[in-house]
A and B are shown apart, each in its own frame.
Chain A
């Protein structure tokens, strides 16, 4: 499987939180050949199951949803208002093309912006917020069908930047890709533990996607694969580098022994990794998965990514491959 093509294909799919079904369908097709069976739970989480030759139940999680928008109101003259799904900085919204999923198909829209000629001081100094943002639907034949509750995403086709990949929804389709690749690797490596590849929804809005299945499967261990801020200086924190392998998280949400074991495996097989401290919450599904039922031993592996929650998220496909290798290796031991 070509890793770049896989990531690009997943990035192109539209699936904001709660509306991931189409994304999951594609993932299902890709992973099905590598596992024993695939199924969905009651709240729409996709599970790909592969029995091991030993014992223990390991869940490997990535979320299939992305941040996005929903139409809140239709204004006169074919304009619409937006609310974000997940955390989106309104500053990146101006002059974007958007795609709106209506009952009658995908309508196009443009997020309008006041030209500099018409701006006054008060416009220039204001921080944009969603109360000021509108979508112009007059450029779309389907614009008249747009209605409250329709799902909207920024229109962005992935581009390649010196070997790195840039596009929307890399958070966490890059993670999804690493799970599919790991499943493929298990055709040659043999997994000791029963492995459940979990593609969940609604991570960006703290929904039931991941915790529901963690509870249902009564897992012994869970590895969550998500993304983290790469190549940017966060005050007080060590800088995570894009292209230097996945970051293994340490902190209260993580089981210390399981994390050390994972780091050992990485070292033994020359998988490049970095260490990421999370003194409070990790901000991923890990935080809640750890607390399901009587508790689950967790680890968090993050793919370094630039410009998180914007349409130009950047990842290095090499990091995705290294993540896949680490995941596959983790299933082979006790």
Chain B
């Protein structure tokens, strides 16, 4: 399990280098082939004992974050979100720019806000990153327009739960790495695709199909959990503690029926806890895989994660471990899976 290492790296969409290098180092001796494609996707290959089908397991390396879009005269940085970050999670956070410069997203003290601004929701136009520079000139020595900005949350583990940033989708990356480390051979040829730019429109996955022409894709995600006191139970998408979530439909794609049912069957066969993802909002790379090239039958297995797209998200380690187990059993099924 590499959740700590992976989530403490910076990898905002379009700038996944740190994550890619880390994964590359850890898995390179355990796979038969490894390549980085034009967009920056890292694709590892393990030959199957029969090799009649090609199965892709995909997780995305990128996370939501920001980009520096202007340097102000006073040395603060104007920024814009990369991927879907809500303004409400921005103020009062520590960020890292371009992998080195530390800054904070400050906001004026409660004492000096008038009533009106206290009651009004924030907009990103009101926020700046402060790096301690006194002027545009000084700031420009350390940062430049176009630099990527990531949250800097330290990983924490206690009480069977872990908290940190970017479980969407470093959780998926870690699951894939665990599967690679088991170092087993399965019947089908396996491709582990660590893809880029999911958060900005399912982009990295778009070029994977033409490189591999897979028969089946399973996307492994860190997905929305809604089990908090502010939301009625019937509106939760998933919840923590009852196992990995299996998706039947999400934005832009109804999951291939055969794959959906095959995943459920494996979970039932080995009594692995699991839940249906019960909302159809949000999308994953599965929609892109289905729609690209000659098309691919794609399924989705997710680790439920509270508070995603914020600097502190939370998962349950049992769910994580059961996701690994479920996928391992799926692979062990070999050619019997989704026949």
Contact = CB atoms under 8 A, between A and B. Distances in A.
Interface of A: 235-239, 250-256, 275, 277, 279-281, 287, 290-291, 293-297
Interface stretch (B107-115, B155-163, B201-209, B319-327): B201-209
- How many residues of B sit at the interface, in one of the four size bands? 20 to 34
Contact of A293 (B14, B203, B210): B210
A294 B200 contact: no
A252 B38 contact: no
Interface of B: 13-15, 37-39, 66-71, 78-83, 124-125, 144-146, 197, 200-201, 203, 206-207, 210-211
Contacts of B68: 277
B210 A238 contact: no
A294 B67 contact: no
Contacts of B210: 293-294
Contact of A291 (B15, B69, B207): B207
Given A280-B201, A287-B201, 13 more contacts: A237-B69, A238-B69, A238-B145, A250-B145, A251-B14, A275-B144, A275-B146, A279-B81, A280-B82, A280-B200, A294-B207, A296-B38, A297-B38
Q: Determine chain A's interface SS by DSSP, over half rule.
A: loop
Contacts of A253: 14, 203
A290 B197 CA distance: 12
Contacts of B81: 279
B37 A295 contact: yes
Nearest to B68: A277
A80 to B, nearest CB: 36
B293 to A, nearest CB: 9
Contact of B67 (A235, A255, A277, A293): A277
Contacts of B124: 236
Contacts of A238: 69-71, 145
A238 B80 CA distance: 11
Given A235-B125, A236-B125, A294 B38 contact: yes
A250 B67 CA distance: 10
A326 to B, nearest CB: 18
A218 to B, nearest CB: 11
A138 B70 CA distance: 51
A213 to B, nearest CB: 16
Contacts of A291: 39, 203, 206-207
Nearest to B16: A252
